[in-house]
Structure 1
Amino acid sequence: MTLRLLLVFLILPVYGQAQQRHWIFFESKPTVTSLSRLSVVFPDGQIEEKLATGWSPDWYDYPVDPRMILQIEQTGAVIHRQSRWLNAVSVTATADQLSRISQMKGVAGLEPVKQLVRPRETMVPVTGSDGLLKQSPGLDYGPGATQIRLTGLDRLHRLGITGRGIRVGVQDAGTKWRTHEALLGATVLAEYDFVEKDTDVTGDDSHGTAVFSLMAANLPGKMIGGTFGSEFLLTKTEYSPTETQIEEDNWVAGIEWLESMGVDIMNSSLGYTTFDDGSGYTYANGDFDGQTTKCTIAADIAARDKNLAVFVAAGNEGNLVPGTLIAPSDGFYVFSSGAVRFDSTLASFSSSGPTNDGRIKPDGLSMGSGNLIATNSKLVYASGNGTSYASPLSASAGALILSVYPELTPSDLNQYLRESADRFTNPDNRYGHGVIHPLNALYKAGPAVSNTFTATLQNGNLVLSGFLAWNRPFIHDSLRFHFHRPGVADQSFTPVLSDSALTVTIPNQWQPGDTVWFSLTGAAGSQPGQVVSFNWPTKPEFRRYLVIGQSETTAKNIRRGSFKPVIDTVYEKPDPDFTIGHAYPNPFNPSVSLKVTTTRSSGFQLQVFDITGRLVSTSDGVLQRGVNYLSWNPQSSGYQPASGIYFLVVHSQNQTKVRKAVFLK
């Protein structure tokens, strides 16, 4: 007994000094002008991808001041997270250390990191009751057909719109996507665990697996998710053994990481509220006003300033009284989802608005009761209830729309979805704007166009086939497919449209590996006597491109932040007699060179195209046998290039080869 008491007294002083995490906010931060300094924020390749959209770094992109970090570490405080958006760090520190930090020059303030609660959802084994076994024409959705059909995702799938080309972030608890049969085909580009600080997001909590499956599952006859053609990035921001507790700085770190990885749209079904003892955030204190909780502030920065569409669960706190929503669903720029049952009646648990400042929430509704979900057991499915399962279906709708119109801003996307909902003209704080209809939302941007086009070569002609639909009649004679190939005059052809099936034949001598940019224009009837014209895509820089494979290929969408090269070098036919090395230096300023090796002398032409496909430079010359260096210095010819991606196209010896280079000012 004496030894036990001694151990207790020895340990208590250590725990007595332990403190809750605190945010340390700074007054300012240095905004350097060199893009290379941003390498500490953005992973390899992401700066290049962002430059492709004309991006230039803003205040939110620059990291916190490293000098302030050093000063804080010198006090003995332990830094957990850095937030470039909040210009803050979270630390664990003693009271004495916090006092010293608060007196530092450049420190704007201190605030405890909130301990938050995630409302729990229910899961039960699939029994085949209610709407779970109803089928839908088209893809075989298995027992999950109702949730896909009620949200209207099947209508987009049938038009070949599957979310291709869009990066989707999923911020949740552990996700066992490598083992469940319905998730084995998911394209996961990266993952990070902000609890264990590693790149494995698996865990004992099946919540993340369930949420992910509603978006990414692709096992016909068993389960198909809402945006199964997308690419995914996963974050884990919750400590599973505690079941409900999370530190808010992990959530903020997670969304900043997803943005740095080039994500277009994200879903977080980890909404948060207060503990039973009153700690955390409370509606009574006015904390759900879109300007108080740190996760809400970060979510709004992502959507408003970083072009990252944010979809979140409204909460499971019920709707019998107003104001039961959870953070970050109170954001101004996020899309918050409530839940309905299979018959479109409101689920009893679905949280209600308004926000503390009087805005209507939720934004819209998707099915979130009796949803088919995957579990952590590789062959097991369950039926789940919760707005956590409605939100990924709404986010899937957003991803499908962005795959057709990636130029839409998050505000555009949110508004189109709200306008598509069945209660848009009479919203309230229980139903929000009602059940969303994503195809109608898409039609507000323009016609629905396939993510993919089948391309075949027939006697040297290129035949493309896909889908085109709109909620107004097309004027068939107005439809034109426009094609652009480097070094070849632009061409336009009239397609054939029959029951949304679109086919166009392009005469010419085409070869596997040839690449083309394409777009579509036309007109449709509106009201009697009125005609509405359209351009797809709506901006030239979002034209799609096509690389012809050996038998067929797909038209790949460009993603916001990533423009595909004119000709993908993986399709080049190796030729030991004529080789071109990579562009060097890359990035470059003021000039870039290509090393060309050839076994015979020949003429050449070097063309340079900018990211929009515009020809900016042409030069001709002679390649000598052996090693040659072709250089391009844009400023020497009077051209003032913008920072971004350029394509160097070399024509010689009946071949065309392309290299990509990035110019940085």
Structure 2
Amino acid sequence: MRQLVFLLCFLCCIPLMQAEETLKFRVYLKDKPTGEYRLDNPRVFLSPKSIARRERQKISINISDIPVYRPYIAQIEQASGGKCVTTSRWQNTAVVSVADSSALAKITALPFVDSVKLVWVKPEVIPVKPKSSGKIRKEKQQKDRKNRYGAGLQQIALHNGEKLHKAGFKGKGMTIAVIDAGFKYADVNYTIDPSRIAGTHDFVEPQSDFFLTHEHGTMVLATIAARNKGVLTGTAPEATFWLLRSEDADTEFPVEEDYWTAAAEFADSVGVDVITSSLGYSLYDIRSLGKPQSTLGRDKSFITRTAETGAQKGMLILCSAGNEYTSEWHAITIPGDAKNILTVGAIDSQLQPSTFSGAGYTDERGVKPDIVALGTAAATTDPAGNVTRANGTSFATPIMAGLATCLWQALPQLSAQEIIQLIRDNSSLRLAPDTLQGYGIPDIYNAYLTAKRQLETQK
């Protein structure tokens, strides 16, 4: 009741407007009837590849895998006069878009509703607030005939990743979901093989022209997928990719946690092996809608719980530590505080922490960030395919995601969690992790050799 009173007081400040979406609420449901779905027939709601990934890792299918009960969604829409824009089967929630604040009491009165949270308010004016990809510097396009990796050599060799590639592991047979703000021109970027893109989905604007959205995701993708010999080769050039948009780059509201959740659940359902996400959240446009920095790793946010659940489903998840070190926030961003994922910070070419890379912790909450990769002057491409240098944990994360994917390809008998621990155990600061680099710089090839020896001994 106290939460309802708070929301009503807050919403009194927002004028009633014409019948268009002005507010979005996250509705938490009390229970989840299975309806037309059955746990003994998971192929109705999970792909064969998703089921196989669970079976390989001895992960059971449970009630959290079943979609939200459709009649509940219909009743919420009818009572509120609004429209359901997304749901979460893992957290048993629905987000409804409504015209005005009078819908709140009607939703709350429904007997199956546990609680309601405001997650979006229509801005009076869309702020000019582009999501920065960090400082970008274009390079002259030159082909190095002696070096197949071109501009990407350092960021791969830093982890001995080229040795793993030479052993035959470049991501073939593995599927990576890239969750980002948009993938402008990724379909025509000549360094990216379009046949490696399994599919796309926009969870923010489902009717958008997908390849005309933000450029950030294209630059992220190129660090993994680029295949331009002697100019730029990515860290998992033979992998297959799902491109998923969950970020509204114009504003910052908690509803983006719901979109990210929908993207992660979609990735799970189609059977991806690895999720890489270079998105993070700290202070929202309406600050009272977020959690304070002191709750990191403790009072878990919605998106952090999603990341942890995704890890429980057997996916290998990597998230960026964020670029907030010099900002008011200073710390890692959510969902980087999730357990059982790899949170990736950034270092420069001198192997020092990048000045922007968010600070974590080494205490009872665990170690965050987990590891680091090159994030200062990382090699990628612009949407057209021209080689550029860019700054950000946004690029350190996919660099490492590609290498982790190749490692898992090489060691398919291991679980996602075993791959994560193997990477931590073969990192430069494993004996003395700190708050900026975590366990340090992974040696991916040494991780492979170590595990291979252990597996041969077990035989």
Is 1:268 the counterpart of 2:277 in the alignment? yes
Indicate conservation of the 8 Å contact 1:446/1:534, yes or no: no
Which residue of 2 is the match for residue 25 of structure 1?
Answer: 28
Residue 181 of structure 1 aligns to a residue whose secondary structure is: coil
Which residue of 1 is the match for residue 170 of structure 2?
Answer: 162
Which residue of 2 is the match for residue 315 of structure 1?
Answer: 322
**Which structure carries more helix by proportion?**
2
Q: Distance in 1 between matches of 2:380 and 2:362?
A: 30
Cα shift at 1:157: 0.8
Residue 14 of structure 1 aligns to a residue whose secondary structure is: coil
Which residue of 2 is the match for residue 389 of structure 1?
Answer: 395
Q: 1:204 to 1:84 in 2, by over 3 A?
A: closer
Which residue of 1 is the match for residue 75 of structure 2?
Answer: 71
Deviations 1:300-331 (A, max 9, x none): 00002x10111000010117999611010000
Residue 80 of structure 1 aligns to a residue whose secondary structure is: strand
Cα shift at 1:186: 5.4
Structure with the larger RCO, 1 or 2 (CA within 8 Å, 6+ apart): 2
Cα shift at 1:15: 5.0
Q: 1:84 to 1:359 in 2, by over 3 A?
A: same
Q: Distance in 2 between matches of 1:136 and 1:434?
A: 32
Which residue of 1 is the match for residue 431 of structure 2?
Answer: 425
Cα shift at 1:244: 5.9
Which residue of 2 is the match for residue 106 of structure 1?
Answer: 112
Q: Distance in 2 between matches of 1:34 and 1:303?
A: 20
Residue 95 of structure 2 aligns to a residue whose secondary structure is: strand
Aligned mate of 1:141, from 146, 149, 159: 149
Indicate conservation of the 8 Å contact 1:192/1:199, yes or no: no
Q: Distance in 1 between matches of 2:51 and 2:426?
A: 36
Aligned mate of 1:298, from 297, 303, 306: 306
Q: Distance in 2 between matches of 1:124 and 1:149?
A: 22
Q: 1:136 to 1:358 in 2, by over 3 A?
A: farther
Q: Distance in 2 between matches of 1:136 and 1:244?
A: 45
Is 1:287 the counterpart of 2:305 in the alignment? no
Residue 151 of structure 2 aligns to a residue whose secondary structure is: helix
Which residue of 2 is the match for residue 171 of structure 1?
Answer: 179
Q: Distance in 1 between matches of 2:204 and 2:450?
A: 41
Indicate conservation of the 8 Å contact 2:134/2:390, yes or no: yes
Percent identity, aligned pairs only?
25
Which residue of 1 is the match for residue 192 of structure 2?
Answer: 183
* Total equivalences in the alignment: 431
Q: Distance in 2 between matches of 1:152 and 1:244?
A: 38
Cα shift at 1:287: 3.2
Q: 1:344 to 1:47 in 2, by over 3 A?
A: closer
Instruction: Map 1:481-630 onto structure 2 (within 5 A).
Output: 533-535=457-459
Q: 1:136 to 1:62 in 2, by over 3 A?
A: farther
Indicate conservation of the 8 Å contact 1:283/1:356, yes or no: no
Which residue of 2 is the match for residue 465 of structure 1?
Answer: none
Instruction: Map 1:466-485 onto structure 2 (within 5 A).
Output: none
Q: Distance in 2 between matches of 1:397 and 1:178?
A: 23
Deviations 1:25-62 (A, max 9, x none): 111112453655762x335x557756864765311111
Is 1:402 the counterpart of 2:403 in the alignment? no
Letter in 1 for 2:361: P
Indicate conservation of the 8 Å contact 1:192/1:200, yes or no: no
Q: Distance in 2 between matches of 1:101 and 1:67?
A: 14
Deviations 1:9-29 (A, max 9, x none): xxx742598543111111111
Q: 1:189 to 1:322 in 2, by over 3 A?
A: closer
Deviations 1:189-217 (A, max 9, x none): 11111122159631342110110001111
Q: Distance in 1 between matches of 2:54 and 2:156?
A: 36
Letter in 2 for 1:330: D
Residue 95 of structure 1 aligns to a residue whose secondary structure is: coil
Q: Distance in 1 between matches of 2:209 and 2:412?
A: 30
Q: Distance in 2 between matches of 1:415 and 1:316?
A: 25
Which residue of 2 is the match for residue 525 of structure 1?
Answer: none
Aligned mate of 1:82, from 70, 87, 99: 87
Letter in 2 for 1:92: S
Cα shift at 1:177: 2.0
Aligned mate of 2:229, from 216, 220, 232: 220
Q: Which has the larger radius of gyration?
A: 1
Cα shift at 1:143: 1.7
Is 1:258 the counterpart of 2:267 in the alignment? yes
Q: Distance in 2 between matches of 1:352 and 1:136?
A: 40
Which residue of 1 is the match for residue 66 of structure 2?
Answer: 62
State the TM-score, normalized to the length of structure 2.
0.85
Residue 101 of structure 1 aligns to a residue whose secondary structure is: helix
Cα shift at 1:227: 0.6
Q: Distance in 2 between matches of 1:147 and 1:136?
A: 18
Q: Distance in 2 between matches of 1:133 and 1:349?
A: 29
Q: 1:279 to 1:257 in 2, by over 3 A?
A: same
Aligned mate of 2:257, from 243, 248, 265: 248
Q: 1:272 to 1:193 in 2, by over 3 A?
A: same
Letter in 2 for 1:373: T
Residue 403 of structure 1 aligns to a residue whose secondary structure is: helix
Aligned mate of 1:411, from 417, 439, 452: 417
Is 1:150 the counterpart of 2:150 in the alignment? no
Letter in 1 for 2:159: T
Q: Distance in 1 between matches of 2:19 and 2:78?
A: 22
Which residue of 1 is the match for residue 6 of structure 2?
Answer: none
Letter in 2 for 1:125: R
Indicate conservation of the 8 Å contact 2:371/2:427, yes or no: yes
Indicate conservation of the 8 Å contact 1:135/1:146, yes or no: no
Residue 339 of structure 2 aligns to a residue whose secondary structure is: coil
Which residue of 2 is the match for residue 600 of structure 1?
Answer: none
Cα shift at 1:408: 2.3
Is 1:336 the counterpart of 2:340 in the alignment? no
Unaligned runs of 5+ in 1: 1-11, 448-469, 471-520, 523-532, 536-665
Q: 1:136 to 1:28 in 2, by over 3 A?
A: farther
Indicate conservation of the 8 Å contact 1:133/1:146, yes or no: no
Q: 1:186 to 1:141 in 2, by over 3 A?
A: farther
Q: Distance in 1 between matches of 2:209 and 2:244?
A: 9
Q: 1:140 to 1:37 in 2, by over 3 A?
A: closer
Letter in 2 for 1:331: A
Letter in 1 for 2:136: V
Q: Distance in 2 between matches of 1:103 and 1:71?
A: 11
Deviations 1:214-233 (A, max 9, x none): 11111101110101111111
